[in-house]
């Protein structure tokens, strides 16, 4: 005859045994935080008083032969339009950026539409220019620091800040073609379209030369 406490123990242990026999689900992985999105910024439709996507010839006069003869905003054609409709201009008398003097200013047009503007100045004004651009357009969508090496082997940091937009993008490079020059570039989405077309044409030409 079984003792009552043995029967009671079996009754109590049976649900536990059944529970242990059930397959266990693997522990769920902790949820990952969402990827941070690019900060919003004030995407411009003009720069230095020039409407992007419009003809620079309609927005300023042609410079005289001696540019010092005028203080008006003007352009000089540096590279005439090529077969793809791309032309380069030098822009003069567009004034300072804030309290910073501009060294040179150039532009590219594609089929008579302004798609690229670059301003260069002394590296001495880089920190101030960065503050001005951030104040005007907000935080950059990306920022990296590269290393540039001179012919003499001297290494310098080169910070590159980008404001990536759907129509217009901006790039501020601490040390441009020269370590003592800073550049600020504004370009439209059409620039990428133009460059892709150039690469396609180069590939076709390479195929014909085989």
Distance CA(210)–CA(202), nearest Å, equals: 13
| Per-residue burial over 121-156, b = 16 or more CB atoms within 10 Å of its CB, e = otherwise | bebebbeebbebbeeebeebbeeeeeeeeeeeeeee
Bridge-based pairing of strands 61-62 and 74-79 is parallel
How far is residue 198 from each of residues 83, 187, 191, measured CA to CA in Å?
A: 11, 17, 11
pLDDT grade for 201, boundaries at 50, 70 and 90 = low
Contact, 75 vs 86, CB < 8 A? no
- Looking at the structure of the chain, the number of domains it has is 1
Q: What is the pTM of this model?
A: 0.75
pLDDT (tens digit per residue) in 50-80: 999 999 999 999 999 886 778 899 999 999 9
183, part of any domain:
yes
CA 39 to CA 134: how far, in whole Å? 12
What pLDDT, on a 0 to 100 scale, did the predictor assign at position 171?
97
Look at residue 20 and tell me if it is in a domain.
no
Classify residue 38: in a domain, yes or no: no
Q: Does residue 27 fall inside a structural domain? A: no
pLDDT at 2: 46
- What percent of the chain clears pLDDT 90, i.e. is strictly above it? 60
Contact 139, 170 (CB under 8 A): no
CB 133 within 8 A of CB 159: no
pLDDT digits (tens, 9 = 90+) for 119-134: 999 999 999 999 999 9
Any domain includes 6: no
In this prediction, residue 18 carries a pLDDT of 44
Q: Answer yes or no: are the C-beta atoms of 118 and 140 closer than 8 Å.
A: no
Residues composing the chain: 210
Asked if residue 16 belongs to a domain, the reply is no
Residue 34 lies in a domain: no
| Structural domain range at position 203 | 46-208
Residue 201 counted as domain residue:
yes
| Contact (CB, 8 A) for 194 and 176 | no
């Amino acid at each position: 005859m079984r003792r009552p406490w043995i029967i009671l123990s079996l009754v109590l242990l049976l649900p536990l045994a059944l529970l242990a026999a059930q397959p266990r689900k693997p522990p769920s992985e902790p949820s990952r935080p969402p990827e941070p999105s690019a900060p919003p910024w004030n995407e411009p439709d003009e720069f230095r008083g020039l409407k992007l996507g419009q003809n620079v010839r309609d927005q300023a006069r042609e410079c005289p032969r001696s540019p010092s003869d005028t203080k008006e905003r003007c352009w000089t054609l540096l590279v005439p339009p090529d077969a793809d409709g791309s032309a380069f201009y030098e822009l003069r008398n567009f004034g300072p950026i804030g309290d910073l003097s501009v060294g040179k200013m150039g532009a590219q047009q594609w089929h008579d539409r302004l798609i690229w503007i670059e301003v260069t100045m002394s590296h001495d004004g880089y920190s101030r220019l960065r503050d001005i651009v951030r104040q005007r357009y907000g935080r950059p969508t990306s920022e990296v620091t590269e290393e540039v090496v001179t012919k003499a082997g001297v290494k310098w940091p080169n910070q590159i800040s980008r404001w990536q937009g759907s129509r217009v993008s901006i790039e501020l490079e601490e040390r441009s073609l020269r370590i003592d020059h800073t550049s600020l570039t504004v370009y439209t989405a059409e620039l990428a379209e133009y460059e892709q077309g150039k690469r396609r044409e180069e590939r076709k030409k390479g195929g014909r030369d085989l």
